[in-house]
Protein backbone atom coordinates (compact mmCIF):
# COMPACT_ATOMS: atom_id res chain seq x y z
CA UNK A 1 0.00 0.00 0.00
CA UNK A 2 1.40 3.37 -1.00
CA UNK A 3 1.71 6.04 1.64
CA UNK A 4 0.97 9.67 1.00
CA UNK A 5 3.73 11.96 2.26
CA UNK A 6 4.09 15.62 2.76
CA UNK A 7 7.48 17.08 1.93
CA UNK A 8 10.05 16.78 4.63
CA UNK A 9 13.35 18.55 4.62
CA UNK A 10 16.67 16.87 4.11
CA UNK A 11 19.46 18.02 6.39
CA UNK A 12 19.79 21.70 7.10
CA UNK A 13 20.07 22.68 3.44
CA UNK A 14 16.81 24.60 3.52
CA UNK A 15 17.93 26.85 6.29
CA UNK A 16 21.08 27.72 4.37
CA UNK A 17 19.05 28.30 1.23
CA UNK A 18 16.76 30.74 3.06
CA UNK A 19 19.75 32.61 4.42
CA UNK A 20 21.17 32.86 0.95
CA UNK A 21 17.88 34.09 -0.44
CA UNK A 22 17.83 36.80 2.16
CA UNK A 23 21.35 37.87 1.25
CA UNK A 24 20.46 37.79 -2.41
CA UNK A 25 17.41 39.98 -1.91
CA UNK A 26 19.34 42.38 0.26
CA UNK A 27 22.17 42.85 -2.20
CA UNK A 28 20.23 42.34 -5.42
CA UNK A 29 23.37 41.24 -7.24
CA UNK A 30 22.17 37.88 -8.48
CA UNK A 31 18.82 36.40 -9.35
CA UNK A 32 16.90 34.17 -6.97
CA UNK A 33 17.28 30.42 -7.50
CA UNK A 34 13.64 30.17 -8.54
CA UNK A 35 14.05 32.55 -11.47
CA UNK A 36 15.24 29.87 -13.90
CA UNK A 37 14.14 26.79 -12.00
CA UNK A 38 11.39 24.24 -12.29
CA UNK A 39 9.50 23.36 -9.12
CA UNK A 40 8.90 19.69 -8.43
CA UNK A 41 5.15 19.18 -8.67
CA UNK A 42 4.76 15.46 -8.10
CA UNK A 43 6.86 12.41 -7.24
CA UNK A 44 5.41 8.93 -7.73
CA UNK A 45 7.28 5.76 -6.79
CA UNK A 46 6.01 2.49 -8.24
CA UNK A 47 7.19 -1.10 -8.36
CA UNK A 48 9.53 -0.52 -11.32
CA UNK A 49 9.84 3.22 -11.75
CA UNK A 50 9.89 6.67 -10.22
CA UNK A 51 8.16 9.52 -11.99
CA UNK A 52 9.04 13.15 -11.18
CA UNK A 53 7.02 15.98 -12.70
CA UNK A 54 8.12 19.61 -12.87
CA UNK A 55 6.23 22.79 -13.56
CA UNK A 56 9.14 24.32 -15.48
CA UNK A 57 12.48 23.58 -17.05
CA UNK A 58 15.31 22.12 -14.98
CA UNK A 59 18.98 21.79 -15.91
CA UNK A 60 20.04 18.28 -14.97
CA UNK A 61 19.23 15.34 -12.72
CA UNK A 62 21.63 12.94 -11.03
CA UNK A 63 20.94 9.80 -9.04
CA UNK A 64 23.10 7.91 -6.58
CA UNK A 65 22.59 5.24 -3.93
CA UNK A 66 23.40 5.33 -0.23
CA UNK A 67 23.54 2.47 2.28
CA UNK A 68 22.75 2.13 5.99
CA UNK A 69 19.81 2.72 5.69
CA UNK A 70 19.42 2.00 1.99
CA UNK A 71 18.36 5.04 0.02
CA UNK A 72 18.33 6.44 -3.48
CA UNK A 73 19.04 10.16 -3.73
CA UNK A 74 18.01 12.29 -6.67
CA UNK A 75 19.48 15.76 -7.14
CA UNK A 76 17.77 18.19 -9.49
CA UNK A 77 20.04 21.01 -10.62
CA UNK A 78 17.92 24.08 -11.33
CA UNK A 79 15.04 22.57 -9.34
CA UNK A 80 13.08 23.85 -6.36
CA UNK A 81 10.89 22.08 -3.86
CA UNK A 82 8.37 24.66 -2.74
CA UNK A 83 5.23 22.77 -3.72
CA UNK A 84 4.02 19.33 -4.70
CA UNK A 85 2.96 15.90 -3.54
CA UNK A 86 4.65 12.54 -3.30
CA UNK A 87 3.52 8.96 -3.21
CA UNK A 88 5.73 6.06 -2.08
CA UNK A 89 5.29 2.58 -3.53
CA UNK A 90 7.09 -0.56 -4.65
CA UNK A 91 10.52 -0.86 -3.00
CA UNK A 92 10.29 2.80 -1.88
CA UNK A 93 8.84 3.11 1.62
CA UNK A 94 9.12 6.86 2.03
CA UNK A 95 9.85 9.97 -0.06
CA UNK A 96 11.59 13.00 1.43
CA UNK A 97 12.43 16.23 -0.25
CA UNK A 98 14.44 19.32 0.50
CA UNK A 99 16.39 22.16 -1.01
CA UNK A 100 19.93 20.74 -0.83
CA UNK A 101 21.60 23.97 -1.91
CA UNK A 102 20.43 27.20 -3.46
CA UNK A 103 20.53 25.65 -6.93
CA UNK A 104 19.73 22.01 -6.22
CA UNK A 105 16.62 20.20 -5.02
CA UNK A 106 17.15 16.78 -3.45
CA UNK A 107 14.63 13.94 -3.27
CA UNK A 108 15.51 10.99 -1.05
CA UNK A 109 13.79 7.64 -1.50
CA UNK A 110 14.01 5.38 1.55
CA UNK A 111 14.09 1.76 0.45
CA UNK A 112 12.20 -1.04 2.16
CA UNK A 113 14.21 -3.54 0.09
CA UNK A 114 17.37 -2.92 -1.98
CA UNK A 115 16.63 -1.54 -5.44
CA UNK A 116 18.77 -0.30 -8.31
CA UNK A 117 18.33 2.44 -10.88
CA UNK A 118 18.57 0.73 -14.27
CA UNK A 119 18.04 3.76 -16.51
CA UNK A 120 15.66 6.57 -17.19
CA UNK A 121 14.96 9.59 -19.31
CA UNK A 122 13.34 13.01 -19.45
CA UNK A 123 10.17 13.43 -21.48
CA UNK A 124 10.49 15.21 -24.82
CA UNK A 125 9.31 18.50 -23.26
CA UNK A 126 11.67 18.18 -20.28
CA UNK A 127 8.77 18.42 -17.81
CA UNK A 128 8.99 14.93 -16.39
CA UNK A 129 11.69 12.46 -15.52
CA UNK A 130 11.16 8.72 -15.42
CA UNK A 131 13.70 6.62 -13.55
CA UNK A 132 13.59 2.86 -13.98
CA UNK A 133 13.94 0.74 -10.85
CA UNK A 134 14.61 -2.92 -10.24
CA UNK A 135 14.56 -4.80 -6.95
CA UNK A 136 18.03 -6.16 -6.23
CA UNK A 137 19.82 -8.44 -3.81
CA UNK A 138 22.00 -6.85 -1.13
CA UNK A 139 25.29 -7.67 -2.91
CA UNK A 140 24.12 -6.02 -6.15
CA UNK A 141 23.08 -2.94 -4.21
CA UNK A 142 26.41 -2.60 -2.44
CA UNK A 143 28.40 -3.03 -5.66
CA UNK A 144 26.27 -0.29 -7.28
CA UNK A 145 27.39 2.11 -4.56
CA UNK A 146 30.86 2.53 -6.01
CA UNK A 147 29.57 3.50 -9.42
CA UNK A 148 28.91 7.11 -8.56
CA UNK A 149 26.22 9.27 -10.03
CA UNK A 150 24.02 8.57 -13.02
CA UNK A 151 23.13 11.75 -14.87
CA UNK A 152 20.04 12.54 -16.90
CA UNK A 153 19.73 15.58 -19.14
CA UNK A 154 16.50 17.09 -20.44
CA UNK A 155 16.46 17.77 -24.20
CA UNK A 156 18.66 20.87 -24.74
CA UNK A 157 15.81 22.96 -26.13
CA UNK A 158 13.87 22.46 -22.89
CA UNK A 159 16.75 22.64 -20.46
CA UNK A 160 17.00 25.53 -18.02
CA UNK A 161 20.22 27.46 -18.03
CA UNK A 162 22.76 26.27 -15.47
CA UNK A 163 22.12 28.14 -12.24
CA UNK A 164 24.05 31.37 -11.92
CA UNK A 165 27.14 31.34 -9.81
CA UNK A 166 26.87 33.37 -6.67
CA UNK A 167 27.75 37.02 -7.03
CA UNK A 168 27.62 36.81 -10.80
CA UNK A 169 26.07 39.90 -12.32
CA UNK A 170 23.31 39.10 -14.79
CA UNK A 171 24.22 40.39 -18.24
CA UNK A 172 21.67 41.06 -20.97
CA UNK A 173 21.35 38.21 -23.45
CA UNK A 174 20.46 38.09 -27.14
CA UNK A 175 17.02 37.65 -28.65
CA UNK A 176 15.06 34.95 -26.84
CA UNK A 177 14.51 32.86 -29.97
CA UNK A 178 18.23 32.63 -30.57
CA UNK A 179 19.13 31.72 -27.01
CA UNK A 180 21.23 28.56 -26.90
CA UNK A 181 21.29 28.26 -30.68
CA UNK A 182 24.62 27.93 -32.49
CA UNK A 183 26.23 30.82 -34.32
CA UNK A 184 25.37 31.25 -37.99
CA UNK A 185 28.38 31.73 -40.29
CA UNK A 186 28.30 33.33 -43.72
CA UNK A 187 26.19 36.15 -45.13
CA UNK A 188 23.67 37.80 -42.78
CA UNK A 189 20.90 37.65 -45.43
CA UNK A 190 18.19 35.45 -43.82
CA UNK A 191 16.70 34.55 -47.22
CA UNK A 192 19.83 32.56 -48.14
CA UNK A 193 19.75 28.80 -47.49
CA UNK A 194 20.90 27.58 -44.09
CA UNK A 195 22.80 24.30 -43.68
CA UNK A 196 23.35 22.70 -40.27
CA UNK A 197 26.44 20.49 -40.10
CA UNK A 198 26.58 17.98 -37.27
CA UNK A 199 29.92 16.60 -36.10
CA UNK A 200 29.02 13.11 -34.89
CA UNK A 201 29.72 11.99 -31.30
CA UNK A 202 31.67 14.20 -28.82
CA UNK A 203 32.37 14.56 -25.12
CA UNK A 204 32.19 11.20 -23.32
CA UNK A 205 31.16 9.50 -26.59
CA UNK A 206 34.31 9.09 -28.72
CA UNK A 207 32.59 7.14 -31.51
CA UNK A 208 34.86 4.75 -33.42
CA UNK A 209 38.53 4.59 -32.39
CA UNK A 210 41.20 3.91 -34.99
CA UNK A 211 43.58 0.98 -34.44
CA UNK A 212 46.07 3.07 -36.47
CA UNK A 213 47.24 5.72 -34.01
CA UNK A 214 44.12 5.86 -31.84
CA UNK A 215 42.37 8.68 -33.73
CA UNK A 216 38.86 9.12 -32.38
CA UNK A 217 35.81 9.61 -34.55
CA UNK A 218 34.64 12.61 -32.50
CA UNK A 219 37.85 14.53 -33.40
CA UNK A 220 37.77 13.59 -37.05
CA UNK A 221 34.10 14.55 -37.44
CA UNK A 222 34.64 17.93 -35.75
CA UNK A 223 37.60 18.79 -38.00
CA UNK A 224 35.61 17.79 -41.10
CA UNK A 225 32.52 19.72 -39.97
CA UNK A 226 34.66 22.85 -39.56
CA UNK A 227 36.19 22.30 -42.98
CA UNK A 228 32.69 22.01 -44.53
CA UNK A 229 31.73 25.23 -42.75
CA UNK A 230 34.81 27.05 -44.06
CA UNK A 231 34.22 25.89 -47.63
CA UNK A 232 30.54 26.93 -47.46
CA UNK A 233 31.42 30.36 -46.07
CA UNK A 234 33.76 30.84 -49.06
CA UNK A 235 30.81 30.48 -51.47
CA UNK A 236 29.24 33.63 -50.02
CA UNK A 237 25.79 32.23 -50.85
CA UNK A 238 25.14 29.71 -48.09
CA UNK A 239 24.65 30.22 -44.36
CA UNK A 240 25.98 27.49 -42.09
CA UNK A 241 25.82 26.49 -38.43
CA UNK A 242 27.46 23.64 -36.48
CA UNK A 243 25.58 21.61 -33.86
CA UNK A 244 28.84 21.60 -31.90
CA UNK A 245 32.16 23.39 -32.41
CA UNK A 246 33.88 21.96 -29.34
CA UNK A 247 34.36 18.52 -27.85
CA UNK A 248 30.96 18.14 -26.21
CA UNK A 249 28.21 15.56 -26.11
CA UNK A 250 24.80 16.11 -27.65
CA UNK A 251 21.94 13.62 -27.69
CA UNK A 252 20.70 12.66 -31.14
CA UNK A 253 17.38 14.49 -30.75
CA UNK A 254 19.17 17.72 -29.94
CA UNK A 255 21.29 17.41 -33.06
CA UNK A 256 18.36 17.39 -35.48
CA UNK A 257 16.36 19.51 -33.00
CA UNK A 258 18.83 22.36 -33.59
CA UNK A 259 18.33 22.06 -37.36
CA UNK A 260 14.54 22.13 -36.96
CA UNK A 261 14.59 25.01 -34.50
CA UNK A 262 16.82 27.03 -36.83
CA UNK A 263 14.58 26.09 -39.77
CA UNK A 264 17.58 24.71 -41.64
CA UNK A 265 17.17 23.83 -45.31
CA UNK A 266 19.57 20.91 -45.04
CA UNK A 267 21.12 18.81 -42.26
CA UNK A 268 24.34 16.83 -42.65
CA UNK A 269 25.61 14.55 -39.91
CA UNK A 270 29.31 13.72 -40.34
CA UNK A 271 30.73 10.37 -39.19
CA UNK A 272 33.62 7.98 -39.81
CA UNK A 273 32.90 4.29 -39.47
CA UNK A 274 34.75 1.27 -38.13
CA UNK A 275 34.64 -2.19 -39.67
CA UNK A 276 35.71 -5.67 -38.66
CA UNK A 277 37.91 -5.86 -41.72
CA UNK A 278 40.75 -3.38 -42.12
CA UNK A 279 40.26 -3.66 -45.88
CA UNK A 280 36.89 -1.90 -45.79
CA UNK A 281 37.36 1.66 -47.05
CA UNK A 282 35.67 4.64 -48.65
CA UNK A 283 32.73 6.90 -47.93
CA UNK A 284 29.00 6.11 -47.87
CA UNK A 285 26.01 8.46 -47.80
CA UNK A 286 23.03 7.27 -45.78
CA UNK A 287 19.48 8.54 -45.86
CA UNK A 288 16.49 7.63 -43.72
CA UNK A 289 14.35 4.64 -44.36
CA UNK A 290 12.35 2.48 -41.96
CA UNK A 291 13.68 -0.58 -43.77
CA UNK A 292 17.44 -0.79 -44.16
CA UNK A 293 18.92 -1.26 -47.62
CA UNK A 294 21.14 -4.06 -46.33
CA UNK A 295 22.16 -5.79 -43.12
CA UNK A 296 25.34 -3.80 -42.79
CA UNK A 297 23.44 -0.50 -42.99
CA UNK A 298 21.00 -1.79 -40.38
CA UNK A 299 23.85 -2.73 -38.02
CA UNK A 300 25.51 0.66 -38.52
CA UNK A 301 22.25 2.48 -37.68
CA UNK A 302 21.94 0.40 -34.51
CA UNK A 303 25.50 1.39 -33.54
CA UNK A 304 25.05 5.08 -34.28
CA UNK A 305 21.66 5.17 -32.52
CA UNK A 306 23.37 3.79 -29.40
CA UNK A 307 25.25 7.05 -29.00
CA UNK A 308 22.51 8.16 -26.59
CA UNK A 309 22.89 5.13 -24.36
CA UNK A 310 25.83 5.36 -21.99
CA UNK A 311 26.24 2.75 -19.26
CA UNK A 312 22.75 1.52 -20.00
CA UNK A 313 21.26 4.94 -19.32
CA UNK A 314 19.36 6.45 -22.19
CA UNK A 315 20.41 10.09 -22.29
CA UNK A 316 18.26 10.82 -25.30
CA UNK A 317 14.96 10.27 -23.58
CA UNK A 318 11.62 9.93 -25.36
CA UNK A 319 13.28 7.33 -27.54
CA UNK A 320 10.00 5.62 -28.30
CA UNK A 321 8.47 8.84 -29.62
CA UNK A 322 11.33 9.45 -31.99
CA UNK A 323 11.55 5.94 -33.32
CA UNK A 324 7.82 5.75 -33.86
CA UNK A 325 7.57 8.87 -36.00
CA UNK A 326 5.26 7.79 -38.75
CA UNK A 327 6.39 8.40 -42.26
CA UNK A 328 3.69 10.79 -43.36
CA UNK A 329 3.55 12.81 -46.54
CA UNK A 330 5.81 15.57 -45.23
CA UNK A 331 8.44 13.05 -44.27
CA UNK A 332 8.15 11.31 -47.64
CA UNK A 333 8.77 14.58 -49.45
CA UNK A 334 11.69 15.27 -47.12
CA UNK A 335 13.06 11.79 -47.79
CA UNK A 336 12.89 12.35 -51.55
CA UNK A 337 14.84 15.61 -51.25
CA UNK A 338 17.35 13.86 -48.96
CA UNK A 339 17.84 11.05 -51.47
CA UNK A 340 18.37 13.56 -54.31
CA UNK A 341 20.97 15.36 -52.25
CA UNK A 342 22.68 12.05 -51.39
CA UNK A 343 23.11 11.34 -55.13
CA UNK A 344 24.61 14.81 -55.66
CA UNK A 345 26.96 14.37 -52.73
CA UNK A 346 28.23 11.10 -54.19
CA UNK A 347 28.68 12.70 -57.62
CA UNK A 348 30.65 15.63 -56.17
CA UNK A 349 32.75 13.43 -53.85
CA UNK A 350 33.86 10.98 -56.53
CA UNK A 351 36.75 13.08 -57.88
CA UNK A 352 37.94 13.99 -54.37
CA UNK A 353 37.81 10.93 -52.15
CA UNK A 354 37.38 7.17 -52.06
CA UNK A 355 33.78 5.96 -52.13
CA UNK A 356 32.38 2.52 -51.48
CA UNK A 357 30.59 0.61 -54.16
CA UNK A 358 26.87 1.00 -53.59
CA UNK A 359 27.64 4.31 -51.90
CA UNK A 360 24.05 5.42 -51.19
CA UNK A 361 22.41 3.27 -48.54
CA UNK A 362 19.36 3.51 -46.31
CA UNK A 363 18.61 2.75 -42.68
CA UNK A 364 16.65 3.98 -39.68
CA UNK A 365 19.01 6.52 -38.14
CA UNK A 366 17.52 8.52 -35.24
CA UNK A 367 19.63 11.57 -36.15
CA UNK A 368 17.94 11.70 -39.59
CA UNK A 369 14.38 11.68 -38.25
CA UNK A 370 13.49 15.37 -38.47
CA UNK A 371 10.23 15.11 -40.45
CA UNK A 372 10.71 18.44 -42.22
CA UNK A 373 14.47 18.87 -42.72
CA UNK A 374 16.18 17.05 -45.60
CA UNK A 375 18.98 15.11 -43.89
CA UNK A 376 21.88 12.86 -44.79
CA UNK A 377 24.44 11.01 -42.74
CA UNK A 378 27.87 11.10 -44.35
CA UNK A 379 30.16 8.25 -43.27
CA UNK A 380 33.33 9.79 -44.65
CA UNK A 381 35.44 6.62 -44.48
CA UNK A 382 36.74 3.91 -42.17
CA UNK A 383 38.96 4.64 -39.17
CA UNK A 384 39.88 0.96 -39.26
CA UNK A 385 41.51 1.45 -42.67
CA UNK A 386 45.04 2.90 -42.56
CA UNK A 387 44.69 4.90 -45.77
CA UNK A 388 41.26 6.30 -44.85
CA UNK A 389 42.36 7.39 -41.39
CA UNK A 390 45.44 9.11 -42.80
CA UNK A 391 43.28 10.94 -45.35
CA UNK A 392 40.53 11.94 -42.90
CA UNK A 393 43.01 13.14 -40.26
CA UNK A 394 45.01 15.31 -42.66
CA UNK A 395 44.20 18.94 -43.33
CA UNK A 396 44.36 18.26 -47.06
CA UNK A 397 41.92 15.34 -46.78
CA UNK A 398 39.55 17.32 -44.58
CA UNK A 399 39.61 20.17 -47.10
CA UNK A 400 38.75 17.79 -49.94
CA UNK A 401 35.78 16.40 -48.00
CA UNK A 402 34.73 20.00 -47.23
CA UNK A 403 34.97 20.96 -50.90
CA UNK A 404 32.96 17.91 -52.01
CA UNK A 405 30.15 18.68 -49.57
CA UNK A 406 30.17 22.40 -50.34
CA UNK A 407 29.93 21.90 -54.08
CA UNK A 408 27.10 19.35 -53.70
CA UNK A 409 25.27 21.87 -51.52
CA UNK A 410 25.73 24.64 -54.08
CA UNK A 411 24.32 22.50 -56.90
CA UNK A 412 21.46 21.36 -54.65
CA UNK A 413 20.29 24.90 -53.87
CA UNK A 414 20.91 26.15 -57.42
CA UNK A 415 18.58 23.40 -58.66
CA UNK A 416 15.97 24.27 -56.05
CA UNK A 417 16.09 27.90 -57.12
CA UNK A 418 15.79 26.96 -60.80
CA UNK A 419 12.76 24.73 -60.19
CA UNK A 420 10.79 27.49 -58.48
ZN1 LIG B 1 29.51 7.68 -35.89
Q: Has this prediction a pTM greater than 0.85? A: no
How many residues does the structure list for the chain? 420
Mean pLDDT along residues 79-92 = 85
Give the Å distance between the CA of 385 and the centre of ligand 1: 15
Give the Å distance between the CA of 273 and the centre of ligand 1: 6
Cα–Cα distance, 252 to 200 (Å, whole number): 9
Q: Could you report the per-residue pLDDT of 167-206, keeping only the tens digit for each?
A: 333 323 323 334 578 999 999 999 999 999 999 999 888 9
Mean pLDDT along residues 137-144 = 82
Give the Å distance between the CA of 134 and the centre of ligand 1: 31
Residues of the chain with pLDDT > 90, as a percent, come to 46
Domain 38-158 has CATH 1.10.10.60: no
- In this structure, are residues 365 and 334 in contact, taking their beta carbons and an 8 Å threshold? no
Mean pLDDT along residues 293-304 = 86
Mean pLDDT, the chain, integer: 81
| Topology (CATH) of 10-20+172-419 | Aminopeptidase (3.40.630)
Sheet order of strands, 92-101 included: 92-101, 104-111, 71-77, 60-66, 150-152
Chain CA centroid to CA 101, Å: 27
pLDDT score of 73? 86
Q: Where are the domains positioned within the chain?
A: 10-20+172-419, 38-158
381 in helix, strand or coil? strand
Kindly report which listed range (130-139, 228-237, 399-408) carries the lowest average pLDDT score.
130-139
Give the Å distance between the CA of 370 and the centre of ligand 1: 18
Give the Å distance between the CA of 129 and the centre of ligand 1: 27
Give the Å distance between the CA of 304 and the centre of ligand 1: 5
Please report which confidence band the pLDDT of residue 417 belongs to, taking 50, 70 and 90 as the band edges.
confident
Helix/strand/coil percent split, the chain, to 5: 35, 30, 40
pLDDT value at 266 more than 90: yes
Give the Å distance between the CA of 219 and the centre of ligand 1: 11
Please report which confidence band the pLDDT of residue 247 belongs to, taking 50, 70 and 90 as the band edges.
very high
Residues ≥6 apart with Cβ < 8 Å to 46: 89, 90, 133
Q: Could you report the per-residue pLDDT of 308-321, keeping only the tens digit for each?
A: 665 445 554 443 33
Give the Å distance between the CA of 287 and the centre of ligand 1: 14
Alpha-carbon radius of gyration of the chain: 24
Give the Å distance between the CA of 256 and the centre of ligand 1: 15
Give the Å distance between the CA of 217 and the centre of ligand 1: 7
Give the Å distance between the CA of 271 and the centre of ligand 1: 4
Give the Å distance between the CA of 226 and the centre of ligand 1: 16
Residues ≥6 apart with Cβ < 8 Å to 167: 29, 30
pLDDT score of 13? 38
* Helix (H) or strand (E) run with residue 170 in it: none
Give the Å distance between the CA of 364 and the centre of ligand 1: 14
DSSP for 241-297, written as a single string = EES-SSS----HHHHHHHHHHTT-SEEEEEEEE--SSTT--SEEEEEE-SS-SSHHH
Give the Å distance between the CA of 181 and the centre of ligand 1: 23
Give the Å distance between the CA of 308 and the centre of ligand 1: 12
Give the Å distance between the CA of 224 and the centre of ligand 1: 13
Give the Å distance between the CA of 161 and the centre of ligand 1: 28
Amino acid sequence: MAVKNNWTHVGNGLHKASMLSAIMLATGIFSSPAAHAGAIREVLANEDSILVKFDGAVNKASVFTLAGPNRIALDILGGTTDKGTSLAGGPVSNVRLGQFSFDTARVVFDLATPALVTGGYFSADGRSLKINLRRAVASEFSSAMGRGKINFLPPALFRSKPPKKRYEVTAPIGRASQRGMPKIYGPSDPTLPLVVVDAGHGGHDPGAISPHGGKREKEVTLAIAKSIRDELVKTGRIRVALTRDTDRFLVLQDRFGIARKMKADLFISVHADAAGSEQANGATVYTLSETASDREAQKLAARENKSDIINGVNLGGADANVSSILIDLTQRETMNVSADFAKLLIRESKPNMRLRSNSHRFASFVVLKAPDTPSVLFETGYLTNAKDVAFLSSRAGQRRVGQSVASAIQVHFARKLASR
